[in-house]
Amino acid sequence: EKDYDAVLVNVIADGVSENLSYMSGRYAETTYQLDLSKYKGKTVEIQFEFESDGNTEGTLVTLDNIILR
């Protein structure tokens, strides 16, 4: 549901969390590329977070083929 359900991509480095992406609405089989170059050489945690208003049923989010380069 656009503007009600969303996937957020966060990176945590050096104890600080930064949001890299906020995707809302229908994105079936969509490819995303996020630039992580500023974290080169650092240990990071990548966090995928789903937010919902609770009115959506069924499979809400599927992540597949995540590649880090």
Nearest to 60 by CA among 19, 6, 21, 20: 6
Q: Give me the residues paired with residue 21 across strands.
A: 9
Residue-wise pLDDT tens digits, 9-63: 999 999 999 999 887 766 656 778 888 999 999 999 999 888 877 776 665 677 8
List phi, psi (to 5°) of 49: -125, 135
Residue 69: its pLDDT value, please?
Answer: 75
Residue 10: its pLDDT value, please?
Answer: 94
Residue 66: its pLDDT value, please?
Answer: 84
Residue 32: its pLDDT value, please?
Answer: 80
